[in-house]
Structure 1
Amino acid sequence: MRAVRLPVVTAAATVAALTALTACTTKSGAESGDHVIQVTASDDACKVSKKEFPAGHIELAIENKGSKVTEVYVLFPDDRIVAERENIGPGTKQRITAEVKAGDYRIACKPGMKGDGIRQEVKATGGTVAKRDPKLDRAVADYRRYAQEQADETLPRVKTFVEAIKAGDLEAAKKAYAISRLGWERTEPVAESFGDIDPKVDVRADGLEDGQKWTGWHRLEKALWADKKIGAEEKTLADQLLTDLEDWQKRVGTAEITPTSMANGAKELLDEVATGKVTGEEDRYAHTDLVDFKGNVEGAQKAYELLKPVAQKNDPALAQELDKQFAALEKLLDTYRTDKTSYDFVSYDKVGKDKRKELSDAVNALAEPLSKLAAAVVK
């Protein structure tokens, strides 16, 4: 389910497209300057210190003065995401750094993390973008291929899942459910950046907007495990899931991905694990959270491995720490496999509180150095 998004733009929109993105929650840079935008969020307002700024690197210094958890976005006029930060608690401050080309944008605050948010129109003017290391161009090309491969591999698995539902075979559908999600989970930030697809295929009941019909994987998950039934509606929803994912598969090939968005996407995958998988909220009926968990970690590691040649040169200590923490988390996850040659894991409802904390600690130990990867690749 959507927690964070990796900025992706279509090839047709490259004139005003995002060229690089880094995001962090620690203080960086000066508190003021042409490129620093103060964003004050509250329950009923989203105030920005300036509505025009030079293109290139910008930094949003965000303070939540409201009583609700909020999220802040930099958006293109058509609502594609340039940069975002979610789960900004009341009374807390966070910072987002992005690199944008000249053009019109919107800064949006979403109190309660619901709806379209409170928006301010802003503009980036002039500015240039530094030349990219050719190694990073190769990393981007390889990652784009990886994202497409994951989408291509997902469709046959989803077809198996859908066919079982349409045949009314409850047990076969249950067996096909978790593996059908693996490619999506590996590239979740890329997939979720197509904002109209994610609400259709991967939303949970508590993530529905007012008036939104519940469709997708988790609606079918509830039918299979909680309701223990496959009716006419479920068969129709299965067909819709396949159609929506075919749409995603076609769009992945149009994506333009940057080195820093890859790096931040890797961190966002770990955040997704921390907020949905470790808690057991993601697959609350099927309890197949560890399969999703594994997919998220594999996707994060793939992005890191592609960026590693540059990151290792620029910050060898960081690369060493990331290697160590990825290995530790993978080793821990493997202890929950029931079959070392497949993606069969123990049911997550059988994982106790202490063990969940152990998993959470391992995720946090990796997420902290991973948050520094974007900065390392642009040194």
Structure 2
Amino acid sequence: MRPSVRPLLAATAVVTALTTLSACAEKGSAKGGEGTVRVEAKDTACEVSAKEFAAGKVSLEVENKGSKVTEVYVLFPDDRIVTERENIGPGTKATITAEIKPGDYAIACKPGMTGDGIRQQVKVTGKGAAAKRSPEQDAAVAAYRSYVLAQAEETLPRARAFAAAVKSGNLAAAQQAYAPSRIGWERTEPVAESFGDIDPKVDVRADGLEKGQTWTGWHRLEKALWQDKKIGPEEKKLADTLVADLTVWQKKVGFAEITPTSMANGAKELLDEVASGKVTGEEERYSHTDLVDFKANLEGAEKSYQLLKPVAAKNDPALAKNLDARFAALNALLDTYRADKNSYVFTSYDKVAPDRRKELSDGVNALAEPLSKLAAAVVK
């Protein structure tokens, strides 16, 4: 789960400096090429080269000129995520390709990857949607939507089984049901997180809580089951709340906005989730079931890629070949930590030595680099 990107609550807005806008930028294209917006992320500012640009295929060329690792979001007015990129290190660059419809949005930079971010309001102009999609792109979107719906529908009975074990007071049964209940969510997390009000309720960690926010969801129960080793009235009530919140998610997920670029960017986001939470051991800090989440994130990313592969392989065959090899290598490495290839029983992450964690991290990084190019490849 990534930190919240809900609206700023501070009374004083953060003032950011804008670079000088060219006449063509004001009309919808920014320096760097048609449909390109340059973003300079700093420790105290988020500068954009255009505050108004045309709808359709948009590329954000991000440069982190700050001293902290950062992430950049494009957000709807209600804080749903259009697209994002995490883990942009100091002095490095990243390109984010997305299909954006006309409307008002915010571009947010989050130095240190914490807080609500420094925001720049932008307007996307034009008569309609992005460029017409090919039959292959349409097929990929339709198949992915079915996949996302299936994952949400499969999650609910697992969550109910987990909640039932908690409510029965059976600590061992609740511990056993915990990780399986999260698999569908982890496979489709970028889509789940596009509904900004659900993720903070079900998947927030203690250090991701906003001021005044009540801690609910999986990780609050994880702490009770493994660290506190107790199930009381509060935990039983939280189990029901978790199921209720996931039911809302299941009803909403069919209405998520899905495009070929959001699928490609979502695959990269899932690898970012692995790098920032699973490989570090921060995500499942009490249960140490990080490798279950790791596998689910990887499966979700690979599903998006496989559905987009007919397009990507046509436009960039070398990239597709590289991605095939990198996915296979990381899957093989991860499989060495589970009982068999048909199970989700993985080695407890606290038993994985530092050198082996680095090996996993290196595998994630090797895949993340070519995966970051997938969005551009599918809209060439």
* TM-score w.r.t. length of structure 1: 0.87
Aligned residue number for residue 285 of structure 2: 284
Q: 1:317 to 1:46 in 2, by over 3 A?
A: closer
* Same amino acid, percent of matched pairs: 74
Structure 2: which 5+ runs fail to align?
A: 6-28
Distance 1:51 1:371 in 2: 25
Maintained 8 Å contact 2:4/2:200: no
After TM superposition, give the deviation of residue 259 of structure 1 in Å: 0.9
CA contact (8 A) 1:4 1:85 kept: no
Q: Name the counterpart of 2:188.
A: 187
Q: Quick one: structure 1 residues 340 and 63, their matched pair in 2 at CA, closer, same or farther if it must change by over 3 Å?
A: closer
Quote the residue 1:221 is aligned against.
222
- Report the CA distance between 1:133 and its aligned residue: 0.9
Contact 2:260 2:378 in 1 (8 A): yes
Contact residue 56 and residue 101 of structure 2 kept, 8 A: yes
Amino acid across the alignment from 2:48: V
Tell me, yes or no, if the aligned pair for 1:263 and 1:373 is still in contact at 8 Å. Answer: yes
Higher mean Cα deviation, 122-131 or 162-171? 122-131
Deviation at 1:64, TM superposition (A): 4.0
Q: What residue number does 1:74 align with?
A: 74
**Farther off after superposition, 144-153 or 327-336:** 327-336
Q: Can you list the C-alpha shifts for 1:72-123, whole angstroms capped at 9, x where unaligned?
A: 3222222222222333444544443333222222222334433433333221
Aligned-partner Cα distance in 1 for 2:223–2:4: 24
CA change 1:376–1:72 in 2 (3 A) is closer
**Which residue is equivalent to 1:83?**
83
How far residue 66 of structure 1 moved from its aligned partner, in angstroms, is 4.3
Q: How does 1:46-57 map to 2 (within 5 A)?
A: 46-57=46-57
Q: What residue in structure 1 maps to residue 198 of structure 2?
A: 197
Which residues of 2 match residues 363-374 of structure 1 at below 5 A? 363-374=364-375
- Cα 1:242–1:124 change in 2 (3 A) is same
Q: Return closer, same or farther for 1:267/1:92 CA change in 2, 3 Å cut-off.
A: closer
Q: How does 1:27-38 map to 2 (within 5 A)?
A: 31-32=31-32, 35-38=35-38
CA 1:141/1:4 → structure 2, altered by over 3 Å: closer, same or farther? farther
CA distance in 2, matches of 1:254, 1:346: 37
SS of alignment partner, residue 196 of structure 2: coil
Contact 1:34/1:54 (<8 A) preserved: no
Give the whole-Å Cα distance in 2 for the aligned partners of 1:45 and 1:228: 44
Residue 103 (structure 1) aligns with? 103
Residue range with higher mean Cα deviation, 166-175 or 184-193: 184-193
1:372–1:223 distance in 2 versus 1, CA, 3 Å = same
Larger RCO of the pair (alpha carbons < 8 Å, separation 6+): 1
Residue deviations 1:300-338 (CA, integer Å, cap 9, x gap): 111111111222222222222222221111111111112
CA gap of 1:43–1:369, structure 2 versus 1, over 3 A, is closer
Task: Tell me the residue number matched to 1:123.
Answer: 123
The 3-state SS of whatever aligns with 1:338 is coil
> Which amino acid letter does the alignment assign opposite residue 294 of structure 1?
K
Q: One-letter code of the match for 1:154?
A: T
Give 5+ residue unaligned stretches, structure 1.
6-28
Secondary structure at the counterpart of residue 344 of structure 1: coil
Tell me if 1:338 matches 2:339. yes
Deviation at 1:236, TM superposition (A): 1.0
Structure 1 range deviating more: 66-75 or 168-177:
66-75
User: Structure 1 pair 97/357, CA: closer, same or farther in 2 (3 Å)?
Assistant: same
Asked if structure 1 preserves the Cα contact closer than 8 Å seen for 2:84 and 2:265, the reply is no
Matched residue type, 2:174: A
Q: Show CA shifts across 1:317-374 (max 9, x none).
A: 2222222221111111111112443211111111101111111121122222222222
Tell me what 2:171 maps to: 170
Distance across 2 between alignment mates of 1:375 and 1:34: 14
More strand as a share of residues: 1
One-letter code of the match for 1:98? A
Give distance in 2, aligned partners of 1:277 and 1:159: 24
CA contact (8 A) 1:201 1:215 kept: yes
Contact 2:60 2:97 in 1 (8 A): yes
In structure 2, relative to structure 1, the CA distance for the partners of 1:66 and 1:359 (3 Å cut) is closer
Indicate the residue corresponding to 1:238 in structure 2: 239
Alpha-carbon separation, structure 2, partners of 1:90 and 1:218: 30
Question: Alpha carbons of 1:368 and 1:309: their partners in 2 closer, same or farther (altered >3 Å)?
Answer: same
Q: Secondary structure at the match of 2:73?
A: strand
Paired letter, 2:110:
K
> How far apart, CA to CA, are the structure 2 residues paired with 1:341 and 1:283?
22
Residue in 1 aligned with 2:133? 132
Normalised to the residue count of structure 2, the TM-score between the two structures is 0.87
Identify the residue that residue 351 of structure 1 maps to in structure 2: 352
Cα 1:256–1:36 change in 2 (3 A) is closer
The aligned counterpart of 1:60 is 60
CA contact (8 A) 2:3 2:114 kept: no
Q: Distance in 1 between matches of 2:331 and 2:68?
A: 35
What is the CA–CA distance in structure 1 between the aligned matches of 2:165 and 2:112, rounded to whole Å? 38
Corresponding residue of 2:297: 296
